[in-house]
Amino acid sequence: MVFGNMGEDSATGVAFTRNPGNGENNFYGEFLVNAQGEDVVAGIRTPAPINDYSKNAQSKHLPTLEALMPEIYKQLDGYQKRLEVHYKDMQDIEFTIEKGKLYMLQCRVGKRNGIAAVRMATEMYKESLIDRETAIMRVGPNQLVELLLPMLDMKAEQAATPIAKGLPAGPGGAKGRVVFSTETAVEWASKGERVILVREETSPEDVDGMYMSQAILTSKGGMTSHAALVARGWGKCCIVGCGDIEIGIEHKFFKAKDGVTIHEGDWISLNGTRGLVYEGSLSLVDVDLDDNKSYKELMKLVDEVKILKVRTNADTPKDATQALRFGAEGIGLFRTEHMFYGEGSEEPLFLLRKMIVSKSETERRQALDDLFIYVKKDIKETMTIMDGHPVTIRLLDPPLHEFVPHDRAKLQLLSKELGISLNVLRKRVLALHENNPMLGHRGVRLGVSYPEITEMQIRAILEAACELTEAGKKVFPEIMIPVTCTVNELKHQRAIVDRVHAQVCDKVCKTKVDFAYGTMIEIPRAALKANHMAIEAEFFSFGTNDLTQMSFGFSRDDIGGFLPNYLDQKILRADPFQTLDQDGVGELIRIGIERGRSTRPNLKVGICGEHGGDAESVKFCHKLGMDYVSCSPFRVPIARLAAAQAAIEAKQ
Ligand code: PEP
Ligand code: MG
């Protein structure tokens, strides 16, 4: 046992061989003269910096270890360099100085946030300290989330004056209503409030409240305090050691240095990257990854190694643009129905409704002809943005009744616009009602009942592709039929596709437009009969949202009522809609791929359910020999990294 509290020639400290907050290759640490180790972590005294580099706003006036005990600092610096070269990773070092003699207590691989992990991995690779594979394995796919974290809008920040400054312990931006206790944080956050937990310091009893908060702000403590370590581990926005605020815990307020008083429930905003606290609710923006050199270098290594392709689920041209920036290699799922939601959808939605409530094929065809223009425009725009990358366009999937209004006022408006009586319209809408629409008249079943709906969509896809090809653009549409369970459905729809294709090639297009024809596999029967499905389908895309729903018999929309009990009682390990159930649903996928490729060896296989962006599930897809995963734009970098790690793990 050695003691750091034996007088002014004794001290204790914690240091990192590189900065765990941003990854910079600089020796970084804190120490306290005449103190024991727990005094540094407890955050009761403000620790001093070991060197000039480690100075911050709170500690800049304190003498450094380098200045106070230069010989000992030199010795410590020599050890830290040797330790990092020996262990080939950033080390977290604890040391004690007893009566002028340095003792190394322990060292271990240091925890770091995502930003630091990416920088350290790429820089250590460039320094030849580690190889490419090690660099890729060093970053947890979910750590990339931190690089994609929202930040405070720069303009809003420039226009505001910070009311306090503390230590930037957890990067990113956050805003929320101030709470002063873990109980209130949990209570308010459970009701959907965004909260920021403000404490003098935190302890393990605060973990629930910290978890539920958008961010954490403490008035005491250093970069190695409890709040800083926990928040860093989670990648949560956090400011510690904010001595500019004085907390009146009894009366639930804090007072900032310049006199501003913030009460419980008031909004504040934090810049965790710079340690700044603002009064009010500033807007948040997404970060610009283009500025992050280390991220780009890591992704270059990732792309050299990964085998699995990563596509995106994009429903709008805006999503497609975003996904390309994140490195998507195509669109794995373009849900056509999304053009009927949101901004600018009034006219196409009206035409769709007109089509839905039509009573004859002639009426329906008239509405479809009008709708065609919008569908073609949307598809053409998206294919233009994707610039030659494959685009999988799924035909209309949801049950039609989802698109018709049900309240009186909206029905009245529609009846007027359609020129039919409210009564007649009501009857037609009522006829669409289903007790279980998720298992009802949706997906390919719509195309079987109303072939003209398929026809219109195929014409829109092929004409768009044809016009782009003739304009010198590269396009590759993949036509995907949803919710199939038998190869006969695929044969039925293929006949329509071939007929329209011949018409388009004959009348519209001088060049022959190419496409691929495939299906989603989202019904267990389709997976089991995959050898038959692959006779018609040139590609499979596993729709694991529906496949999970139909394998478990859990309704996607109603799982909230019982899932918490299943998780609490450990009947299920995880929510199967988030993490792919590899044992059950995964087995169906394995069978589907095996049987599909037994008929068509070059069958292209992907996944487009939510699991396509979950790192564990991506690794599983790699093991099963899929060609690609497809996920939402923001999950693309995570999936790319997971795919590279899967390739490395498979070799090992
Ligand atoms: C799926 O079922 O996995 C899928 C991607 O389709 P959706 O979520 O649109 O039903
Ligand atoms: Mg589905």
In the chain, where the domains are located: 11-112, 151-285, 306-399+434-651
The whole-model pTM stands at: 0.81
| CA-proximal residue: ligand 1, atom 3 (nearest) | 543
Below-70 pLDDT ranges, the chain:
224, 232-235, 287, 341-344
Angle at 442 (CA atoms; ends 438, 544), nearest 5 degrees: 60
In this structure, are residues 83 and 105 in contact, taking their beta carbons and an 8 Å threshold? no
| Ligand located closest to 630 CA | 1
Decide whether any atom of ligand 1 lies within 6 Å of the 21 Cβ.
no
Say what the pLDDT of residue 250 is.
85
CA 207/CA 364 separation, integer angstroms: 58
Which residues, at least 6 apart from 595, have a Cβ–Cβ distance to it below 8 Å? Answer: 527, 528, 529, 530, 531, 534
Measured in angstroms, how far is the CA atom of residue 543 from the centroid of ligand 2?
5
In this structure, are residues 382 and 396 in contact, taking their beta carbons and an 8 Å threshold? no
CA 591/CA 57 separation, integer angstroms: 60
Measured in angstroms, how far is the CA atom of residue 590 from the centroid of ligand 2?
18
Which helix (H) or strand (E) element contains residue 49?
A: strand 48-49
Measured in angstroms, how far is the CA atom of residue 457 from the centroid of ligand 1?
19
In this structure, are residues 24 and 54 in contact, taking their beta carbons and an 8 Å threshold? no
> Active-site positions?
226, 608
Tens of pLDDT, residues 549-597: 999 999 887 777 788 789 889 999 988 988 899 999 999 999 999 999 9
Q: What is the CATH superfamily name and number for domain 306-399+434-651?
A: Phosphoenolpyruvate-binding domains (3.20.20.60)
Which residue blocks in 164-270 are alpha helix, DSSP H? Answer: 182-190, 207-212, 226-234
Tens of pLDDT, residues 6-42: 999 999 999 999 999 889 999 999 999 999 887 877 7
Residue 333: how many CA atoms within 13 Å on its side-chain side?
Answer: 29
Q: What is the CATH number of domain 151-285?
A: 3.50.30.10
Say what the pLDDT of residue 401 is.
83
Q: How far does Cα 579 stand from its chain's mean position?
A: 13
Q: Which of 494, 404, 412 is nearest to 441 (CA)?
A: 404
3-state DSSP call for residue 14? strand
CA 248/CA 474 separation, integer angstroms: 65
Decide whether any atom of ligand 1 lies within 6 Å of the 335 Cβ.
yes
In this structure, are residues 619 and 278 in contact, taking their beta carbons and an 8 Å threshold? no
Place of tokens 């946030």: 113
Q: What is the CATH superfamily name and number for domain 11-112?
A: ATP-grasp fold, B domain (3.30.470.20)
Phi, psi of 326 (to 5 degrees): -85, 0
In this structure, are residues 170 and 237 in contact, taking their beta carbons and an 8 Å threshold? yes
Say what the pLDDT of residue 233 is.
59
- Distance of CA 116 to CAs 18, 21, 138, 274, Å? 9, 6, 11, 15
